[in-house]
Amino acid sequence: MCDSSPVRNWLFGLIAALVLAAAAVGAAMIANGSLWLIWTSAGWMIVAGLLTLGAIGICVGAGLALDKFCSCAGTRCEGPCGNMRRLISAIQAVLGIQATACFTVAIIASIPWLPLGLMAIIIGALIAQLLLAISLIPFYASLTSCQISSAQPV
């Protein structure tokens, strides 16, 4: 039986990175709404952008771990592997756009209240990505069950 635990570990890392990126954007929003902390708003957006870039790297790692698992599992797990690979690729593509948005908003983050709407859009998109990453968990479960179901006699 092939080991799918590296895929699981990368998925949990992706979820953690997305939670941290969303929290950084939230901190940037709080800082931008405060005249005393506004000077930190741009820094928080840069942190969010870097965390989002980290999440892209985690997607690459998850894809490599998935490729290793799928080559071991063979054709019996072809469907679940393909579904999971496409979802990871979609998440990775959108994260690239979100990282760009974070760095772009960091440019205007020191202007009081101006970027709050853009920050709200970014945090909403990150939360949507988080939910999409969480939806990878049932796909992961299908990876382990495709091995079990094919190993049992018919």
pLDDT digits (tens, 9 = 90+) for 109-153: 999 999 999 999 999 999 999 999 999 999 899 888 887 755 555
Interatomic CA distance for residues 27 and 22, integer angstroms: 9
User: How many helices and strands, by DSSP H and E, does the chain display?
Assistant: 5, 0
Q: What is the pLDDT of residues 59-87, one digit of tens each?
A: 999 999 999 999 999 888 999 999 999 99
Token pair of 30, please? 């709080």
Q: Which residue has the tokens 């942190």?
A: 47
- Give residues with Cβ within 8 angstroms of 64, minimum separation 6: none
Residue 73: C-alpha distances to residues 85, 88, 132 (Å): 14, 19, 25
User: Mean pLDDT over residues 19-39, rounded?
Assistant: 96
User: What pLDDT score was predicted for residue 15?
Assistant: 97
Strand intervals (E) in 40-136: none
User: What pLDDT score was predicted for residue 140?
Assistant: 92
User: What pLDDT score was predicted for residue 146?
Assistant: 86
Interatomic CA distance for residues 127 and 114, integer angstroms: 22
Instruction: Give yes or no for a contact between 50 and 17, defined as CB atoms under 8 angstroms apart.
Output: no
Residue 31: C-alpha distances to residues 8, 106, 131 (Å): 35, 12, 26
